[in-house]
Amino acid sequence: MSEARGILYVVGIGPGAQDHTTPAALAAISDADLVVGYTTYIKLVRHLIDGKEVIKTGMTEEIGRARAAVERARDGGKVALISSGNAGVYGMAGLVFEVLKSLGWKRGDSPELRIVPGMTALNSCGSVVGAPLVHDFCAISLSDLLTPWSVIARRIEATAAADFVIGLYNPASGRRTRQIVEAQAIIRRHRGGETPVALVKSAYRKRQNAAVTDLDHFLEYEIGMLTTVLVGSSQTFVFEGYMVTPRGYANKYTQDGEVLAGQRPGFSLVPGVEEVG
Amino acid sequence: MSEARGILYVVGIGPGAQDHTTPAALAAISDADLVVGYTTYIKLVRHLIDGKEVIKTGMTEEIGRARAAVERARDGGKVALISSGNAGVYGMAGLVFEVLKSLGWKRGDSPELRIVPGMTALNSCGSVVGAPLVHDFCAISLSDLLTPWSVIARRIEATAAADFVIGLYNPASGRRTRQIVEAQAIIRRHRGGETPVALVKSAYRKRQNAAVTDLDHFLEYEIGMLTTVLVGSSQTFVFEGYMVTPRGYANKYTQDGEVLAGQRPGFSLVPGVEEVG
């Protein structure tokens, strides 16, 4: 091992369009000598990496990619390991810690770790279709490559019953098409067929494609690896093609901001005046 | 109403440090003639608003703030309504649509609506403490000012039982201190007392303060309006002071990336080899 203390940046680049990538993420990539990432994400930042060494790998080679990044940084390099969205949301950050742990790394050892947050797909996809995430929501990955389907199905059931807005990551791939059908069936047992559903593909990229439909019809649309599926709660509505989940102001206030009878600003909502949930 | 078609930017500025605000958000604020927001958020962007008209209001005046922004933009102005984090995650975007609906607004009418996504607190706070959100998670606001506590409690119970990482927004305020105590008790019925819990206040701002502790001890820390509480799943671990939720690679691969016996890359996990959830 070299004496020099390297730096490992774990960077989320957001949805991929440069004007939605933070200055902190751009600075990290700019500072790195080596940039490591999945081929698709590397392409999104190709204008930033002229003259740098690049390790591009396919989607199923995450462990090797994380190890390569950690080891090069440990040996004194400045390395940026990049994920789309946020590296800590279904991204590479978890694997980095698992690799560091296996190497017996301690705080203060090389490499220095700098995690640079980015905007995850839920954030960017939500904004494309309106304001679906203004109240409680969850994120569930439908990929059962690393997680038993029974665990995933239990999570869908629980959040459908408790009226969360549900964001589904990795809903389907070429080979994996059964899960989104089962997810729809589970949610449908708890919510009406007219519940708003948004499908957003490649948010803020050139090939952005979004649709607002409903729980009984969304399976008729094309759904793939790059699609995020947002299922509304019982309170979610569609307005002029936008999908909106209200925060609940109508439970306590008139549209002019006057307090409804029986309610007090700054105090707990008194249930019964108008029902929510 | 003026003939001119105004623009209403609904902008999330992220955690508040300028290098985590996207170029798109900065450009929107720069383009606006009028900037509207809660006083604390306006202060975070004060260097960008020299010479602009500003409407600052307190936290309980959201409806008036949204109406003022919508009406000025409808009448031809360029208005930026700003939230910290993402305007669509417990932010002002929902209220904007409710106001537009009450005014009978249609797509194509003034104002033109431009929603600019930002990084929500879950994203920024997660990165401060490590990688707690690498697997399925939920966001629940503990504020019962607009939502009945029974709805909130049901959501905590459901996601605690289904082993989500749980992000709690608005955990407490000066007057509202009971909810976080009840939330702890509900979650504790489903998870061990040693479950990792992170408390993050003012992520990426000057007064950032973060702690990684556990479910049996986190109530001993100061928790207020600006704190985000992250409760780990059964899989979450603490390593060198970082909080990490693994994606599940260890269910299928060795640390060197070799496939475990009985598993196949690219195919559903075969449960039983190693248990998850």
Q: Do B20 and A19 lie within an 8 Å CB cutoff?
A: no
Q: Is the pLDDT of residue B28 over 70?
A: yes
Chain A residues whose beta carbon lies within 8 Å of the beta carbon of residue B101: 239
- At residue A59, the pLDDT reads 54
Interval B227-249: pLDDT, tens: 999 999 999 999 999 999 998 88
Percent of chain A with pLDDT over 70: 96
Sign for the CA dihedral angle at A253, A257, A260, A263 comes to positive
How much of chain A exceeds pLDDT 90, in percent? Answer: 73
Report the C-alpha gap between B99 and B7 in whole angstroms. Answer: 15
pLDDT tens for B121-160 read 999 999 999 999 999 999 999 999 889 999 999 999 999 9
Give B170-187 pLDDT, tens digit per residue: 999 988 999 999 999 999
What's the mean pLDDT when you consider all of chain A?
Answer: 92
Please give the Cα distance from A111 to A75 (Å, whole number). 8
Per-residue model confidence (pLDDT) at position B273: 55
Task: Write the CB contacts of B38 (distance below 8 Å, at least 6 apart in sequence).
Answer: B56, B57, B58, B59, B65, B83, B84
Partner residue opposite B246 with nearest CB, options A94, A155, A163: A94
User: At which residue do the structure tokens 């248990």 appear?
Assistant: B275
Are the Cβ atoms of A239 and B20 closer than 8 angstroms?
Answer: no
ipTM entry = 0.94
What does the pLDDT read at residue B119?
95
- The whole-angstrom separation of Cα B115 and Cα A126 is 10
Task: Give A188 or B48, the one with higher predicted confidence.
Answer: A188
Nearest by CB to B148, which of A87, A151, A276? A276
Residue A178 clears pLDDT 70, i.e. is over it:
yes
Chain A interface, best mutation among B26, B133, B143, by max A CB count within 10 A:
B133
> Hey, are the CB atoms on B118 and A123 less than 8 Å from each other?
yes
Task: List, as one string, the DSSP characters of B219-271.
Answer: GGS---TTEEEEE--TT-EEETTEEE---SGGGTB-TTSPBPTT--TTS---T
The closest of B67, B40, B25, B34 to B52, measured between CA atoms, is B34
- Of A47-51, A133-137, A271-275, give the lowest mean pLDDT range: A271-275
Give how far Cα B269 sits from Cα of A69, A144, B164, B250, B266, Å: 26, 6, 19, 11, 9
Give me the pLDDT at residue B60, please: 61
pLDDT score of A249 more than 50: yes
H helix and E strand count, chain A? 7, 13
pLDDT of residue A273: 54
User: Which of A18, A137, A154 shows the shortest C-beta gap to B138?
Assistant: A137
- Quick one: pLDDT band at residue B43, thresholds 50, 70, 90? confident
State the number of CA atoms in the 13 A half-sphere of B128 facing the CB: 26
Q: How close B276 gets to chain A, by Cα (Å)? A: 7
A17 vs A195, more confident: A195
**With contacts defined as CB-CB under 8 Å, which chain B residues touch A163?**
151, 154-155
From chain A, the residues in CB contact with B141 under 8 A are: 135-136
